């Protein structure tokens, strides 16, 4: 990844040094370089990744995912559900109808949760921003981990047999028949392009603020102090990262450039990744919606299992960080 | 001739935006037709919709899981 954007890095450096006479070795120069380079890089990657993933996703509407899942049972059901969670387009406001649709089709509660846990964690915007900030390896590791958390979370929920904590009316509902419209290529392209516009429109502002803060950290923050408080050796860092992440929701994507700058200064990569997972998987709006179909107790189990998994993963990444970067 | 347009969604920002765009589209096309906002989750599910916001025209799904574009809406009313 770093190699692909070397030209951009050089270009920005050239612009700063030849154009404005600011050396990138200076504090101001280092900050400005980070700011301009990161904005361009992240926007390019966001555009391309969201487009490609959205195009792929147009082949997997939840209705189709549901049909596929009806054919799997046991652990393979969880694995399939978690994998399909990657490709099925999904926003938190659809979590309730999807939940009902799955349960009504006889898909086990735990398998449904495998899907519901992975789907928001592995989203195109998070993937693109991670790719831009940390490169391929971390982005792929993030996806794989998201899938594993979904599989484990769903299996645990199955094991606990928590069907009694699903609101009764869910089991009485009958899903209506609705034809799935076949899309042609032009429609898929339009869909993907609209998705790029929608997501970039939603997060660009937060990204720029995040990149701005990241740039300041890059030029000015004292590395030893940060490494001491939020480095991989501080046992509380991951926990705090997750707790802070929960109420932030997806706008927190803007924090990734901050994390990028912090990691250069010694903050643990696991801390940054678990923070990001917490913002997506445990988002408050999604939980409020899910409350309509499941009782508070099940919601609590879901949050506990997912939260714990994310924290464990965070520590794990901090331990193996040296092999990742 | 369109008889009934339904916008399905539990009142999230995207659903409100969809309803708004449809109202504008109807006005621009000069069509007067019943526009129903379906917000009850039971009713949404019973109509077979798994992704919101969704737009149904005379019971047929025109789009689901996204906010339709203005030009798309225009094409439905032609």
- pLDDT computed for residue A147 by the predictor: 94
| Domain limits for position B28 | 4-67
Per the domain annotation, does B9 fall within a domain? Answer: yes
- pLDDT computed for residue A243 by the predictor: 67
Closest partner residue to B45 among A100, A179, A198, by Cβ?
A100
pLDDT at A1 over 50: no
- Collect all residues of chain B within an 8 Å Cβ-Cβ radius of residue A169: 42
Q: How far is Cα A272 from Cα A208, in angstroms, rounded to an integer?
A: 18
Average pLDDT over residues B41-65: 84
Per the domain annotation, does B49 fall within a domain? Answer: yes
pLDDT at A184 over 60: yes
- pLDDT computed for residue A16 by the predictor: 83
- pLDDT computed for residue A79 by the predictor: 94
pLDDT tens digit sequence for A267-279: 677 887 787 778 7
Min Cα–Cα distance to chain A from B27, Å: 23
Answer yes or no: do B9 and A93 touch at CB < 8 A: yes
Q: For residue B71, give the chain A residue with the closest CA.
A: A190
Q: How far is Cα A196 from Cα A168, in angstroms, rounded to an integer?
A: 38
Q: For residue B54, give the chain A residue with the closest CA.
A: A94
- pLDDT computed for residue A37 by the predictor: 84
Per the domain annotation, does B76 fall within a domain? Answer: no
Look at residue A27 and give its three-state secondary structure. Answer: helix
Per the domain annotation, does B74 fall within a domain? Answer: no
Answer yes or no: do B42 and A97 touch at CB < 8 A: no
Average pLDDT over residues A47-66: 86
Residues of chain A contacting B, Cβ within 8 Å? 61-63, 66, 89-91, 93-94, 96-98, 100-101, 104, 169, 173-179, 181, 190-191, 194-195, 198, 289, 292-293
pLDDT at A257 over 80: no
pLDDT at A77 over 90: yes
pLDDT at A244 over 90: no
pLDDT tens digit sequence for A98-128: 888 888 888 999 999 999 889 888 877 778 8
- pLDDT computed for residue A301 by the predictor: 92
Among all residues of B, which ones are annotated catalytic? 12, 15
Average pLDDT over residues A139-144: 88
- pLDDT computed for residue A247 by the predictor: 58
The rounded percent of chain B whose pLDDT value lies above 70 is 100
Q: How far is Cα B55 from Cα B37, in angstroms, rounded to an integer?
A: 10
- pLDDT computed for residue A245 by the predictor: 63
Q: For residue A292, give the chain B residue with the closest CA.
A: B41
Min Cα–Cα distance to chain B from A113, Å: 16
Per the domain annotation, does B63 fall within a domain? Answer: yes
- pLDDT computed for residue A114 by the predictor: 94
- Total domains present in chain B: 1
Q: Is B49 on the interface with A (CB under 8 A)?
A: yes
Min Cα–Cα distance to chain B from A191, Å: 9
The mean pLDDT value of chain A amounts to 80
Q: Beta partners for B36?
A: B6
CATH number at residue B12: 3.40.30.10
Average pLDDT over residues B14-19: 86
């Amino acid at each position: 990844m770093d190699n692909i954007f070397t030209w951009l890095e050089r270009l920005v450096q050239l612009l700063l040094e030849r154009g404005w006479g600011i050396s990138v070795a200076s504090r101001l120069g280092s900050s400005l370089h980070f700011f301009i380079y990161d904005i361009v890089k992240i926007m390019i990657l966001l555009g391309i990744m969201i487009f490609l993933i959205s195009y792929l996703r147009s082949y997997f509407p939840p209705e189709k995912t549901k049909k596929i899942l009806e054919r799997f049972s046991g652990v393979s059901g969880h694995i399939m559900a978690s994998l399909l969670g990657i490709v099925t387009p999904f926003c938190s406001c659809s979590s309730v109808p999807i939940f009902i649709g799955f349960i009504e089709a006889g898909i086990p509660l735990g398998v449904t949760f495998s899907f519901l846990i992975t789907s928001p964690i592995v989203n195109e915007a998070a993937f693109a921003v991670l790719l831009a900030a940390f490169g391929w390896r971390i982005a792929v590791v993030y996806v794989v981990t998201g899938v594993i958390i979904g599989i484990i979370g769903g299996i645990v929920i199955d094991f606990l047999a928590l069907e009694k904590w699903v609101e009764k009316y869910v089991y009485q509902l009958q899903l209506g028949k609705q034809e799935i419209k076949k899309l042609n290529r032009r429609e898929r392209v339009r869909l993907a392009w609209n998705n790029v516009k929608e997501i970039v429109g939603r997060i660009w502002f937060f990204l720029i603020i995040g990149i701005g803060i990241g740039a300041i950290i890059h030029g000015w923050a004292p590395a030893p102090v940060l490494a001491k408080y939020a480095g991989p050796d501080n046992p509380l860092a991951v926990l705090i990262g997750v707790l802070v992440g929960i109420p932030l929701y997806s706008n927190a994507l803007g924090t990734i450039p901050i994390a990028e700058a912090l990691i250069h200064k010694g903050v643990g990569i696991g801390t940054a990744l678990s923070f990001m997972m917490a913002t997506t998987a445990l988002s408050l709006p999604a939980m409020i919606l899910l409350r309509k179909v499941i009782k508070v107790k099940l919601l609590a189990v879901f949050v506990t299992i997912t939260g714990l998994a994310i924290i464990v993963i965070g520590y794990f990444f901090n331990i193996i960080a040296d092999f990742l970067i | 001739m369109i008889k009934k347009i339904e916008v399905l969604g539990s009142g999230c920002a995207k659903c409100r935006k969809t309803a708004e765009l449809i109202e504008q589209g109807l006005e621009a096309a000069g069509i007067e037709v019943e526009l129903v906002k379906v917000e009850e989750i039971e009713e949404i599910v019973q109509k077979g919709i798994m992704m919101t916001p969704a737009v149904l025209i005379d019971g047929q799904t025109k789009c689901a899981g996204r906010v339709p574009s203005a030009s798309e809406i225009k094409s439905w009313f032609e």
